[in-house]
Structure 1
Amino acid sequence: MTVESSFVNKQSDARMDWIDMAKGLGMLLVAIGHLLPEGSNIRMFIYSFHMPLFFVLSGIVYKNTSSSGFFKSRLFVSYLFFSVTFVIADLLVRVLLLGKYEPSSIIWEVYQTISFYGINVLWFVSTIILCKWIMGKLLLIKNKLAIIGMVGVLFILTGWIGTFYTMSSESYSIIRLALYFPILAILRPLNVLIFYVIGYFSKKYIIQVIQNRNTTGLVAIGVLILIIVWGLTPYCGNVDVHIMTYENIVLALFTGLSGSVAIIFICSFFQKCFTLTAYLRFCGKNSILFMVLHEYLFMSLIVNLILSAVHINNIILYIVGTIILTSLIIYIIKDQVDYCLEYLSNKFLGNNIKTRS
């Protein structure tokens, strides 16, 4: 075992709080970004780094084990479980609330699932699964700089290709749509792999910085970086990893990495605040459930209906209400969901399943 791996393994005996906290804060930013109106400066600012943050964090916790377990993970079971949940929920809404049934919509949702494009927010889960598999192959190359250079070039190329293909597919025909989903499903992991790889290779250095530096200094650096990212937002333009659109691909790489580092530094400071730490860790440990509930199981719709009933039109109350309601529902159902995922993992994939991916 190398000195580097020995150092890192000492940290993995107990899950690092700042990772869960950074995931939790990132998840809150995802929710806020989804609820803000398109084109707003704050939304563009959040989108410039919030998804790269998750891929950096996933790279940090990646373990270089056998890549044969492509489908044998809790993450893959979660992907299938929530995909089926969405299809059923969508069908019930269409039949019971809208009073109409459109078989084509359900068919496309199933197709998005099997093509690994992912329904709605589940694109992130399918992309992480593919990143983990590709990472196992990449690490067969022993030269770190060669790997970083390779994935850097892939980021630029796939970003350009994805943006061009998405823009040219605005008038969807059936054939183009059928091709669009699997093509994007392939391009996305190749595109975000740069964040995953840098997260993996920088883990030791990030831990050293957090342990050896004053956390007040780190939060000051993190805030300064976010101010710089905010200033660059108009030049970076719209960034949407989901549908692969970049207005400035090079600047998007910079804001994605720098914004991720800023959030990690800030979360190292938050560990001093118990209440905030507990809540961010709660959101981080249940990040997939948070992502699923706030976006497509109608939490925001419910809050909007309540505010409309009392004649309140306030974006801040709308966002805060959605986050609070989502958090409450997660607290109520998380144990039942965990039980279902554990049962399905053991039932269909055997007992040697990772409980956390």
Structure 2
Amino acid sequence: MQNKEYLNWIDILKGLGIILVILGHIRLSPELISYIYLFHMPLFFFISGYLMNINKYDSFNQLLKKKTRTLLIPYFTFSVISIICYSVIGHKDIDVSATILSFIEGKRNEIYFNVPLWFLVGLFVVEIMYYIQKKLLRNDILLLILAIFINFIAVVFLNVIETPNWIWSIDTAMYYLLYYQLGNLFRIYKDKIDFKKVFNKVAVGIFVFLCISFNLLSLISPDLINYVYNSLNANSGFLFIRLIIYAISGIVTYVCLAMYIKKSTTLEYIGKNSLIIFALHWPIGIWALDMLKVQLQIQIVHSNVLAIIELIIILLILKPIIKIINKNFPIILGRGDFFGTPK
């Protein structure tokens, strides 16, 4: 029963996360897009870290095989699908050399035929980095300190927020490693906190309250948040702290929301199929919607109401595709006996 409840809330959280991703890619108001971009990708790395059970892997080769199957195979298959959609649905000419280079490099924001796919190679790098560090250090406090330091390097010295440059999004992976680490720590320690002790209960309660309050404040009054931090932007060290505060407050808020909801058939469905939706909402959902707007001569404007309608249409467009892939082509998702592992 506990396992089922766990699956419920984590699938709900993934569902909320993928909705935020789609909304961040369509014509939502700039203020809400800015709000979403504060934490939506840290949230997905947090979820991935939570789902990581390092004890399942007896060796690095076993981990490498599993992550190649579940991340790199989908990266390849969805890239092929995206390139076809880019040509057919988007009516774009394919530059073969640029396409191959974009696919091989896997840089954040530079996979032009399907920008979000960088997440798959970025997550692959993060999981490899985390596994190696975990095996070498074996101390969660040291691992957390190291992740914070690597995050600092990525923000301050590599300027990864504005100009990601490294192949396979390695510099971006350095930034997101911290949130993956926090997700894994949450998995390990969330049931070990003794809430019978008043101090623990009060401390966790205050922390959650502050995170949710800050997240809601950034949603309700983004100008106020920007005003508070504008004077700090000149120093990248303060930017590093600011980004962590924004990300953690968003993660805590939506983890609490998912746990509060407990049961939602729609969100659980979206969460369970988050990989397909994540990979195809751009090349199929958004492009198909844009093509429909052109055909109907609908003016493209930024509107929160229209964005919600677009979100629903995109999910409806993808629903039959999700069914077809799950039933007939699970190999696209890295599942099946073809890879020598059970489904």
The TM tier, using the shorter chain, reads 0.7 to 0.9
Q: Which amino acid aligns with 2:306?
A: Y
Aligned to 1:196, which of 161, 167, 180? 180
How far apart in 1 are the matches of 2:309 and 2:106?
Answer: 32
- Which position in structure 1 is the counterpart of 2:71? 75
Where 1:126 maps in the other structure, the secondary structure is helix
How far apart in 1 are the matches of 2:101 and 2:65?
Answer: 18
- Which position in structure 1 is the counterpart of 2:213? 224
The answer on 1:330 being equivalent to 2:314 is no
**Equivalence map 1:283-302=2 (5 Å):** 283-299=270-286, 301-302=288-289
- Which position in structure 1 is the counterpart of 2:97? 107
The answer on 1:29 being equivalent to 2:20 is yes
Would the alpha carbon gap of residues 346 and 148 (structure 1) be closer, same or farther in structure 2, given more than 3 Å must change?
A: same
CA RMSD of aligned residues (A): 3.4
Deviation of 1:130 after TM superposition, in Å, equals 1.5
The answer on 1:340 being equivalent to 2:333 is no
The answer on 1:157 being equivalent to 2:147 is no
- Which position in structure 1 is the counterpart of 2:134? 139
Where 1:297 maps in the other structure, the secondary structure is helix
Would the alpha carbon gap of residues 164 and 129 (structure 1) be closer, same or farther in structure 2, given more than 3 Å must change?
A: closer
How far apart in 1 are the matches of 2:188 and 2:312?
Answer: 35
How far apart in 1 are the matches of 2:103 and 2:298?
Answer: 39
The answer on 1:42 being equivalent to 2:32 is yes
Equivalenced residue count is: 309
Q: TM-score, normalised by structure 1?
A: 0.74
How far apart in 2 are the matches of 1:309 and 1:155?
Answer: 46
Deviation of 1:164 after TM superposition, in Å, equals 6.7
Would the alpha carbon gap of residues 24 and 149 (structure 1) be closer, same or farther in structure 2, given more than 3 Å must change?
A: same
Q: Which amino acid aligns with 1:110?
A: I
Contact 1:59 1:197 in 2 (8 A): yes
Q: Which amino acid aligns with 2:313?
A: L
Deviation of 1:300 after TM superposition, in Å, equals 5.5
How far apart in 1 are the matches of 2:338 and 2:177?
Answer: 29
- Which position in structure 2 is the counterpart of 1:279? 266
Deviations 1:313-347 (A, max 9, x none): 56234312322122223321213212323376546
Contact 1:127 1:189 in 2 (8 A): yes
Deviation of 1:308 after TM superposition, in Å, equals 7.7
Deviations 1:197-251 (A, max 9, x none): 1110122444578x999xxx99x947434224445742568xxxxxxx9992211
Q: Which amino acid aligns with 2:267?
A: L
- Which position in structure 1 is the counterpart of 2:124? 129
Q: Which runs of 5+ in 2 are unaligned?
A: 231-235
Q: Which runs of 5+ in 1 are unaligned?
A: 1-9, 170-179, 238-244
Would the alpha carbon gap of residues 278 and 300 (structure 1) be closer, same or farther in structure 2, given more than 3 Å must change?
A: farther
Would the alpha carbon gap of residues 58 and 21 (structure 1) be closer, same or farther in structure 2, given more than 3 Å must change?
A: same
Q: Percent identity?
A: 20
Aligned to 2:171, which of 173, 187, 207? 187
Q: Which amino acid aligns with 1:79?
A: Y
How far apart in 2 are the matches of 1:48 and 1:246?
Answer: 17
Deviations 1:98-149 (A, max 9, x none): 5xx342xx42232232233363101111111121112211111121111100
How far apart in 2 are the matches of 1:84 and 1:311?
Answer: 30
Q: TM-score, normalised by structure 2?
A: 0.77
Q: Which amino acid aligns with 2:35?
A: F
Where 1:139 maps in the other structure, the secondary structure is helix
Contact 2:50 2:183 in 1 (8 A): yes
How far apart in 2 are the matches of 1:93 and 1:161?
Answer: 40
